[in-house]
Amino acid sequence: MLCMRRNSWILDVLLCNGLGIYMGMLTLDYLQIKPHHWRSLRSLQRDTPTCRRHRFSPYRLMEFDLRPTGSLRRWLAMLVLIFMALLAEVNTFYLMLVLWIPAAHTLAIVRLCVQAVLAGACLRDTFQYLDDPKCKQLGRQAWLAAATLATEVLIVVKFDWETFSRPPPAHIQSICWSAFFLLVSYTVWRFFVSRGRDSAGD
């Protein structure tokens, strides 16, 4: 049993997630340094393959720096993004349970595809709001993703409040409270205690 868990960790975390993240970073680095020559669609003949290829090209490429602990505002934004990602994962299983949808159903697969596309646009809107001084408000895609998740939670609460309100096991509660305590402790230490010492030393 322990060997199976270890193999699943290796396959899931290192191979799938780790390799996917690494390949994505290489792709973004390639697109960043590659010269792009943008032309309007009117300057291209509409029946050529070039027109069809450029129609779905990005409008512009922007470089974002993650820096999750760069500031308190940025750290809280990262925590909200992580919470929304976890909520989207939990909603997947709750909706299949509440609405009696099989895992291989077309609706479940389409929902996951839409969530994946929406997550990319949501992340771009969020980082543009955090990094771009000219951006004064959060983008529409981020608000759409938040409204979608909230609607899914309301569906679960409405149709199966008994399951939703059932308390989790004791060991799960202890893990959640421990993680919450560690997050609060790290936030206070990183942004208040540590910076207070740095300013006092200067």
pTM over 0.85: no
**pLDDT at position 162:** 86
Q: Which segments of the chain have a pLDDT < 50?
A: 1-2, 47, 50-56
Residue 138 main-chain phi, psi, to 5 deg? -70, 145
Predicted pLDDT at 54 = 47
pLDDT of residue 37: 58
pLDDT tens by residue, 152-200: 999 989 988 888 788 888 998 999 999 999 999 999 999 988 876 665 5
Q: What is the DSSP string of 135-182?
A: --S--HHHHHHHHHHHHHHHHHHHH-HHHHTSPPPHHHHHHHHHHHHH
